[in-house]
Structure 1
Amino acid sequence: MARTATSIIMLPIYTRYLSPSVYGTAELLNIILDLTVLLLGARITTGMFKFYADAENQKEKHTVLSTCLWLGLLFNIVAMMILWGASPLIALALGDPSITEALRWIMFTLAFATIGEIGMGYFRVNDQAGRYLLVSLLRLASQIAASLYFIVYKEAGLWGVIYSALIGAGFQALLLLTVIISTIGLRFSTTIAKNLIIFSMPIIISSIAMYYMTFGDRYFLQIFHDTSSVGIYALGYKFGFMLLALVWGPFMSYWGAKQFDHARSPGGAEFFSQAFSIATYILWAGATGMLIFVAPAIQFMADASYHSAAHLVPPIVLAYVFHGWAQFHQFGILDSKNTRFLNTYTWISAAVMSIFYILLIPPYGGMGAAIATLVGMVLRFVLIYRKSQQYFKFITDWKKIFFLFFGSYVAYASTIFLYNNDRSDFVIGILLYFFIIITSVLTNCAPLTRREISKQTKAFLSKDPRISKNNY
């Protein structure tokens, strides 16, 4: 949550001190950067946790991490060199040659990103939550301070966004290098590097399609509308990212590193089922909060020119719920090393989404893009779910989950009639949110039943330490 809090904390500043056009341009620069990474295979370390779990001793595990670091830096440096030369052409293609230098400067975050990925991954896989949190908070503080200075005080606009991103990522990379290099050493294994490339390439190719599914709608919006539409849509889309970052991301940060170990333990399939049930309930609670509070939140934090973004959030949030489910259920494909299926299914979903982009974005703008995103994410989840269950099957109560999310969208629809477009909306939203949560418990849709909650509450109030682990 702390690692991604910067973008949330900075939203009121971005939407007050940056016009929708400048905000849209910053969004396009980040899109280009991510696409460069994917096209040049700079995310070659995708299989890091898989090979770390398979390593037989601590020395081999450190060799995996060190090899990932060198391999990632190599690919990212190549990507930076190519992007430097291609920047004028890319800027010209976007219709704004003035952003050439901005694109060249922001590319230096690529090298910092590799160090951050490996370093924070080391903390995750070794259960070093304290260090993980400390580095995250330090990066958060440095980037917020830089943003306030360059965007608010210096009024640097687009360059303020770039400077703050460089300072935050660079400071984190420096901290991680001093800690990790002394621990894992500077080893490199050609065998591990080869296995990483073979394992990761289908996922990288799939990530290109996933990238398109995430950001392709901005390109269509720019073509059929303008950069202001991109900026407004980017704000609405931010809430989908927030759902992953604040709710699903913290869970997957641990689960992604440890899922291979859990699957091999006794009762692994049953444990997967329980973990998904609890994680989905928390995801549902977060999504419900997003839907209920999005309208007053945007009205409170953003300029009036951004307020229409609130209408785009419901389909985007639901799309990212399905995206989170796909992340969890793709384990069977990853564990079997049949990563080619991820590639195939993601490209199929991207192709279907493209059709909906063309059909819906010209007449409906941002709402058309949001609906197309939802269609693509749902299709991708269904395909991944069916295939992964063939390799590693676990049971999920989908009827209960459907009931929960149906209630969430009923609550969202009711806000249209209950809200008064003032600060009282927050009070109404809080009451509505607690009503939905209580209803989920009374209908036994929560992971803990009423009897279990009562038992745990009594134990807590009586300060009884004998709390059954089975209830969790």
Structure 2
Amino acid sequence: MPEKKSFIKVGIIYAIGQVLSKAISFILLPIYTRQLGTVGYGQLSLADTVLDFINTFVILSIYSGYIRFYREYKGEERNKLRNTAINFALILTIIDLIILMIFGRTIANIIFSFNNSYKIFALIIIRSLLSQFVILLMCDYNLNYEAVITVTINLVMLIMNLILSIYFVVYKKQGIIGVYSGYILSILMVLIYLVMVNVRNFKFEIDKKMLKYMLTFSGGLLPCNVSGTILTLADRYFLAGYRNYSEIGIYSVGYKFGMLIQPLFVDPFKSIFTPYKFQIWKDDDASVKFNDMYKKYHFFGCLIIIFIALYSRIIISIFTTKDYMDAYKIIMLILFSYFLYGENEFYSLGIQIKNKTYLTGIIMLLGGMINIILNVILIPKFGMYGAAVATLISYLSINIINSTFSVPLYKVKYDFTTTLINYLIVIGIYGGYYLLTLINKNLIIEFFYNILFIFIYIYLCLKFKLVKKDDLVRYIKLVKMKILSIKSRTM
């Protein structure tokens, strides 16, 4: 693991990369919302959730097992582990394509109820396969903390997708098919590059013992991944059944903003924490290190939650049409849901370290069942608001169950009192903001009083000693220095 300064530097690079990535992807939002309308955007959202579900199965998330056992091997043995994962994925790809050709039309007609369902389903499968191989071939960069390479590749892929989407959706008027065509071509070009870079180390070899280890780990995560997809897929299907595609479109815009917590904070955090936790869990002071990361996760994560929640209404007004404005009302619920889900990186330590990932699957299945039950109860009466509440309660339930099963396997005493105070501050600030939105309709005035709310959060965190003033100043300086260094290199 890099020294502390490098550790922070890597995190900043990932965070900047995610911000730039989201900035590029958000340029697509006005294109999709205006070109597709609320109905078409709702259908696209449904297609994307099916994509998330399929991603779990196409190559069985073999890269998860590769990440888990990467540090267990060195030199040629590590290369053999990589080749085993790649070759297994290639075999599954052939099987997937055969299944698509034989059963694709039947499956597509069951899943979708709109035109060109088979063609869209085929594009979903192809996009899923290509993106999973990109993830697999980029594992080494993440595992070795090569953040600059990872961020650069992702940005190039997004820029190409932006250009292709404008061509297919705006110029060619191809709708959802154009959206997926743009994704596929951009991913394919990146995949070709990664294959060329890695081909010299490739060999057709499969080590049965290594494959067993990886599949035991990644296979144990399958129920978890399936349940996680159910948590995001079920609400769309119930909204389609009880309401309409237009409400799905509005809900999806709010969901998209709510999920910003993942690329802006949770994903960069996981990019560092995932290899870090497998490296330090045996240390004598591991508990102290984990608890320190836990506190940082909550302070900075809640800061970003407040920022997104307070400014989402303004951004929605800029990037979409007035038909989507109600989306801001569910954003805080979705933000908290995915922030709570990110907490499982801490609560699942025992399960992952002891290689009992099947427990995670059981926990996620329980969460998925809770989500379905809540959707059935809440969506008919409350629509998208009920769906958002169901998501929040489901992820909270998962955290409670996860900590019950996992913590006894690897005990770390976390400071829950500090976390609770942090949450109460966030809820209080957002409550004040929401009440003001009911009175004030001027977005310019809203922009400025939101700044005051952010400073209130920081002040209260300092007041209640949720963060040290010296630490906060140091992090601000590091971020500022990193941004300035990136500017100087690009000029």
> Scaled by the length of structure 1, what TM-score is found?
0.90
Aligned with 2:206: secondary structure?
coil
Deviation at residue 230 of structure 1 after TM alignment:
1.4
| 1:59 counterpart (65, 76, 79) | 76
Asked whether the equivalents of residues 224 and 361 of structure 1 are also in contact (C-alpha less than 8 Å), the reply is yes
The equivalences for 1:104-115 within 5 A come to: 104-115=122-133
Does 415-424 or 313-322 show the bigger shift? 415-424
1:227 alignment partner, one of 238, 241, 245: 245
Check conservation: 1:236, 1:313, Cα contact below 8 A.
yes
Q: For 1:445, what is the secondary structure of its paired residue?
A: coil
2:447 to 399, 423, 426: 426
The aligned residue for residue 377 of structure 2 is: 359
* Residue 443 of structure 1, aligned match among 445, 454, 464: 464
Give ranges in structure 1 of 5+ residues lacking alignment. 462-472
When residues 396 and 149 of structure 1 are mapped into structure 2, their CA distance, relative to the original with a 3 A threshold, is same
1:7 deviation in Å? 3.5
On the 8 A contact 2:375/2:390 being kept in 1, the answer is: yes
Q: Kindly, what percent of the aligned residue pairs are identical?
A: 22
The answer to whether 1:102 aligns with 2:120 is: yes
Residue 298 of structure 1: aligned partner: 316
Give runs of aligned pairs for residues 273-284 of structure 1, distance below 5 A: 273-284=291-302
Which structure 2 residues correspond to residues 284-323 of structure 1 after superposition, within 5 A? 284-323=302-341
Which range is displaced more, 97-106 or 304-313? Answer: 97-106
- CA–CA distance in structure 2, aligned partners of residues 457 and 360 of structure 1: 42
Q: For 2:430 and 2:463, locate their aligned partners in 1 and report how far apart those are by CA, in whole Å.
A: 20
Evaluate the alpha carbon distance shift between residue 455 and residue 231 of structure 1 in structure 2; reply closer, same or farther with a 3 A threshold: closer
Q: Map of 1:77-92 to 2, 5 A cutoff?
A: 77-92=94-109
1:184 CA displacement? 5.8
Secondary structure of 2:64 counterpart? coil
1:280-320 per-position Cα deviation (integer Å, ceiling 9, x unaligned): 22211111112211222212211111111111112111111
Within the alignment, does 1:116 sit opposite 2:134 as a pair? yes
Query: Does the alignment pair 1:346 with 2:359?
Result: no
Q: Tell me if 1:148 matches 2:166.
A: yes
8 A Cα contact 2:49 2:232, kept in partner: no
* Partner residue, 1:376: 394
- Alpha-carbon spacing, 1:458–1:213, altered in 2? closer, same or farther (3 Å): closer
> Aligned-pair distance for 1:458?
11
Cα shift at 1:431: 2.6
What is the alpha-carbon distance in structure 2 between the residues aligned to residue 97 and residue 35 of structure 1?
21
Q: Is the 8 A contact 2:349 2:407 kept in 1?
A: no
Rate the CA distance shift 1:433–1:193 in 2: closer, same or farther, 3 A: same
Q: 1:81 to 1:6 in 2, by over 3 A?
A: farther
Is 1:332–2:353 an aligned residue pair? no
2:86 match: 69
Q: Which amino acid aligns with 1:66?
A: N
* Conserved 8 A contact 2:58-2:128: no
Q: Distance in 2 between matches of 1:395 and 1:428?
A: 38
Question: How far does residue 3 in structure 1 lie from its aligned partner after superposition?
Answer: 5.1
Distance 1:147 1:458, change over 3 A: closer
Query: Counterpart of 1:172 in structure 2: which amino acid?
Result: V
Cα distance change on mapping 1:171 and 1:4 into 2, 3 Å: farther
- Three-state SS of the structure 1 residue aligned to 2:62 is coil
Aligned residues: 458
Deviations 1:400-423 (A, max 9, x none): 222222222222222234343433
Summarize deviations over 1:367-410 as a string: whole Å, max 9, x none: 11111111111111111112221122222221222222222222
Higher RCO (CA-CA < 8 Å; seq separation 6+): 2
C-alpha spacing 1:201/1:5, structure 2 compared with 1 (3 Å): farther
Q: Is the 8 A contact 2:425 2:460 kept in 1?
A: no
TM-score, structure 2 as length reference? 0.87
Q: 1:77 to 1:28 in 2, by over 3 A?
A: farther
- Change in Cα spacing, 1:453 to 1:354, as seen in structure 2 (3 Å) is closer
Deviates more, 1:131-140 or 1:416-425: 416-425
Change beyond 3 A, Cα 1:337–1:81: same
Shift of 1:453: 5.3
Contact kept, 8 Å, 1:400 with 1:445, in 2: the verdict is: yes
Alignment partners' CA distance in 1, 2:309 and 2:295: 21
| Counterparts of 1:293 and 1:166, CA distance in 2 | 32
My pick for the range that moved more, 274-283 or 315-324, is 274-283
Deviation at 1:170, TM superposition (A): 1.1
Check the 8 A contact 2:43/2:245 in 1, yes or no: yes
What is the rounded CA distance, in whole Å, between the counterparts of 1:459 and 1:290 in structure 2? 22
Is 1:115–1:176's contact at 8 Å kept on the other side of the alignment?
no
* CA–CA separation in structure 2 for the residues paired with 1:291 and 1:307: 13
Contact 1:139 1:168 in 2 (8 A): yes
Q: Is the 8 A contact 1:91 1:98 kept in 2?
A: no
Distance in 2, Cα, partners of 1:254 & 1:155: 41
